[in-house]
Amino acid sequence: MNKKLISVMMALLLVLTALAGCSVRIEIAGKKTQPGEVSNPPDKVTEPAESSTTSGKTTEPAASSAPPVETTEPAVSSALPVETTEPTPSGTTPGEIKEPAEKERTIKARGILSTSPEGYMYNLFTDDTIEISYCDEIKLSAKLIIPEKLDGKKVVGIGDLAFEHCKSLESIEIPSSVTNIDELAFSYCSSLKSIMIPSSVTEIGDMAFKGCGSLKSIEIPTSVVSIGGSAFEDCDSLSEAIVPYRLNHCGAAVFPEQTKIKDHNGKDRPLYKTSDDCVYVLLNQPYTVLVDYVGDSKKVSVPEQIDGMTVTGIGDWAFDRCSELESIEIPSSLTDIGDWAFCSCESLQTIEIPSSVTSIGSGAFAYCTSLKPFKMPPSLTDIKNSTFSYCYALSSVEIPSSVTDIGVSAFMSCASLQSIEIPSLVTRIGGDAFCGCDSLQSVKLPSSLTDIEAGAFRECGSLTSIEIPSSITRIGASAFANCNSLSEAIVPYKLNYCGNDIFPKQTKIKDHNGKDRPLYKTSGDYKYALLNQSYTVLLDYTGKSKSVSVPEQLGGLTVTGIGEWAFADCASLESIKIPSSVT
């Protein structure tokens, strides 16, 4: 099975609304919606990435093997703003791969999710354009012509898995308004024989047409500058492909071995060259990228040039699961290390990254369980999602001063990490960023920091105290949950938002003046946040009523939001009325 499918396993966290698990009728400021219909949530917030206990409720785990906003049938029938969060690979096994379920549909929420009468679900972006995210196969013709507009909005993209497993499709015509075809967009359309890609398309994502076993030929227009890895993998009938002469990016194993590849002038168009077990892509540019390693050496030295082309990058998944690899030398010509580039290199101990590298991709060193401390390049601006997750041997980290953002699960389960100093330019620490760093004893947070997301330091069992700077405006749910040694926390007097159960029960919370700083209060069946503002957020409902009318005020504070998981598992809830104060 191709390793790229791990990206499905490690896709974005399951995004749930505060009414997760409930089938209710919702009334917002006098507007009624039908059972099962989802209305705009009050505030875009990020859920805890894994199971946690909130006021006696057990929230569902965010199942890292599940793709984003996963539904069996479309559940969103009205506009739904959704904040996406990237993968949290907790609970997955390195190397474990599963094909997408045949009837499963995955929806990536990147704008506002809406549905059209034609059976499409789409993301509406701020520029009034849309990307198709899902289709109802029952409503589709075998000879499909995708419309240029849906509900009067221009279709500019085909989203991840949008037409996945639509086995009835035989031909597809894509409109000239579309610029991108995303990951797995038409994967496993087993009856698909022809597809017309317009000259407006510039990007074809990883595995976009994987498993289209009836497809015999494909012409990729010269407008395309990027083709993702395994884009046409397992297209067993694909005998011919026409590919642009120049590309900016091309992943590994784009076509099956039997496919004859030509350019638009009818000349042979080789895509790859192999040297010393390293596979390089031929972009017909003065540079190249190492896209795959097929050897089993313990030590690898990447050259600076190959056949006169400068090696500038290591591609996505290039060294994935090279279990024998212990050390690697990277040339100073390199500027980019791709997503999951060294994922699951369990024996990798040493790596020297040159200062020329400006970007290290998501999950680049995830599951490198033997990786020892090393110096990061000084020009990095962010630590992306899951970059160093499950690096059990990584005992210390020096984050460059240029970094401004630490992504979701960036250092998750780095069990040997003992201390961390966040640089002075960082404004956000992503959800689960340091979750499960059980040896972490010292954390220094800068005054630039404004946002600590859900579960960021969850299960850091050795942490005894934490001072959260006054610059912080948001603290996500369970940010320090299960930090069982955490006896004291200093928290700003004013916050714009705080989630539920941020700290363990034993933690004494004070403000920066040394005064007690309560975070929550209850009123009847409601638990709400004390933000020391004129407003509050409803965090938990503990009642069992069939009908709930959320009050406009709690404790004299205006209710402006409903927090993560607030009504989760309220099995008896049939209807809810939300006041107009909720934004």
Cα separations in angstroms, 381 against 87, 152, 396, 403, 456: 20, 39, 19, 4, 19
Phi first, then psi, for residue 16 (nearest 5°) are -115, 155
Q: Please state the pTM of the whole predicted model.
A: 0.80
Q: Strand, coil or helix: what is 7?
A: helix
The H or E element that residue 9 is part of is: helix 6-9
CATH number 3.80.10.10 given to 1-15+26-269:
yes
pLDDT score of 137: 84
Q: Report the alpha-carbon distance of residue 159 to residue 177 in Å, rounded.
A: 14
> Among 248, 295, 251, which Cα is nearest to 272's?
251
* Amino acid making up residue 551: P
The vertex-360 CA angle with 356 and 364, nearest 5°, equals 135
pLDDT score of 23: 44
Q: Report the alpha-carbon distance of residue 306 to residue 303 in Å, rounded.
A: 7
Domain ranges of the chain: 1-15+26-269
* Amino acid making up residue 490: I
Q: How many CB atoms lie within 10 A of CB 577?
A: 15
- Rounded to a whole number of angstroms, the CA Rg of the chain reads 25
pLDDT score of 111: 56
483 contacts 506 by C-beta, under 8 angstroms: no
Would the CA dihedral through 533, 535, 540, 545 be positive or negative? positive
* Amino acid making up residue 164: E
Would the CA dihedral through 353, 11, 563, 508 be positive or negative? negative
The vertex-45 CA angle with 447 and 472, nearest 5°, equals 15
Q: Which residues pair with 85 in a beta bridge?
A: none
Q: How many CB atoms lie within 10 A of CB 252?
A: 26
Look-up of token digits 């030295």 = 301
Q: Calculate the CA dihedral of residues 541, 544, 546, 551 and round it to 10 degrees.
A: -30
Q: Which residues pair with 278 in a beta bridge?
A: 275, 293
Q: Strand, coil or helix: what is 119?
A: coil
> Among 106, 190, 215, 202, which Cα is nearest to 157's?
202
Q: Report the alpha-carbon distance of residue 160 to residue 173 in Å, rounded.
A: 18
Q: What is the pLDDT along the chain (583 residues), one digit of tens a residue?
A: 444 444 434 433 333 333 344 444 444 443 333 333 333 333 333 333 333 333 334 333 333 333 333 333 333 333 333 333 333 333 333 333 333 333 333 344 455 678 888 889 999 998 999 999 999 888 888 999 999 999 999 999 999 999 999 999 999 999 999 999 999 999 999 999 999 999 999 999 999 999 999 999 999 999 999 999 999 999 999 999 999 999 999 999 999 999 999 999 999 999 999 999 999 999 989 999 999 999 999 999 999 999 999 999 999 999 999 999 999 999 999 999 999 999 999 999 999 999 999 999 999 999 999 999 999 999 999 999 999 999 999 999 999 999 999 999 999 999 999 999 999 999 999 999 999 999 999 999 999 999 999 999 999 999 999 999 999 999 999 999 999 999 999 999 999 999 999 999 999 999 999 999 999 999 999 999 999 999 999 999 999 999 999 999 999 999 999 998 999 999 999 999 999 999 9
Q: Can you count the helices (H) and strands (E) in the chain? A: 1, 50
Q: How many CB atoms lie within 10 A of CB 211?
A: 23
